Structure 1
Amino acid sequence: MDIKTASALHRLRLVSGPEAVSFLLLLVCSVLKRTTDFNAVPVMGMVHGLLFVLYVIFWADAWRRARWGLGIAALYFVLSVLPTGGFFAERKLRRASQDAVIASRARREGTVNA
């Protein structure tokens, strides 16, 4: 993987955590709306919607750059629609982006030393 692929994975990782948190907060706000007079659903819905759109954009970019198979791409998409799936995606993406950076540095050092 090159550094652009690592950057795409990093961007997806950075948005997956906040997207998962916003999803959980939206669920809490939905429950509170039905049980109390507190109604933050419009605000949390907009925040979560924005983060979800960013996730999908970054997911498509990472899929293209990393050349994932359909199974891996589907896994990351399904994780985005599960309430806590973003946390699992973040962990997997952190490992993948770190591996990509290490591979990129090793290639660069191998090219410079050769």
Structure 2
Amino acid sequence: MSNKAAVLFRVVAVAEAFSWAGLLVGMFLKYVVELGEGGVPVLGMVHGVLFVLYLATTLLVARPLGWRAGTVVTALLASIPPLATWVFEKWALRRGKLDGPERLAHGGTALFLDRDRVGTARA
């Protein structure tokens, strides 16, 4: 279950970050370059939908991934600054937060975990 939860979270987090970037570009075109609407109404709606989807997904995957309250709050706060969901997703991947609680028993990505720390966690 946690593998599907991790994939879902990663996809939604990156999509939300890209929607932020698109909205920022649209706002730049609208307000700085003054090229008309610059797609802001559509990009704003897309970003709004992905923002809410990110919040819901974060709350949905927290239990299967074994996140503590601090991780959940950090993930939710990452939805506010532009591109921070992507930064949080990369941090969570490096820290093994996307592997779920059974990562040591059944494997997992754990790309950047220290092997000594993982070895002591098994004992």
TM-score by length of structure 2 reads 0.70
Matching residue's letter, 1:57: A
Runs of 4+ in 1 over 4 A off after TM superposition: 98-102
Q: More helix per residue: 1 or 2? A: 1
Gaps of 5+ in 1: 107-114
Matching residue's letter, 1:73: V
CA distance in 1, matches of 2:102, 2:16: 24
Cα RMSD of the aligned pairs, angstroms, is 2.2
CA distance in 2, matches of 1:55, 1:32: 26
**Is 1:49 aligned to 2:48, yes or no?**
yes
**Is 1:18 aligned to 2:15, yes or no?**
yes
CA distance in 2, matches of 1:78, 1:87: 12
Equivalent residues, number: 103
Deviation, 1:77, is: 0.9
**Is 1:5 aligned to 2:2, yes or no?**
yes
Alpha carbons 1:25, 1:44 under 8 Å: kept: yes
Deviation, 1:84, is: 1.9
Alpha carbons 1:9, 1:93 under 8 Å: kept: no
**Which range is displaced more, 25-34 or 90-99?**
90-99
TM-score by length of structure 1 reads 0.74
Q: Percent identity?
A: 30
Counterpart residue number, 1:111 = none
| Cα separation, partners in 2 of 1:70 and 1:99, compared to 1, 3 Å | closer
1:53-92 paired onto structure 2 within 5 Å: 53-92=52-91
Choose between structure 1 and 2 for higher RCO, CA contacts under 8 A separated by at least 6 residues.
1
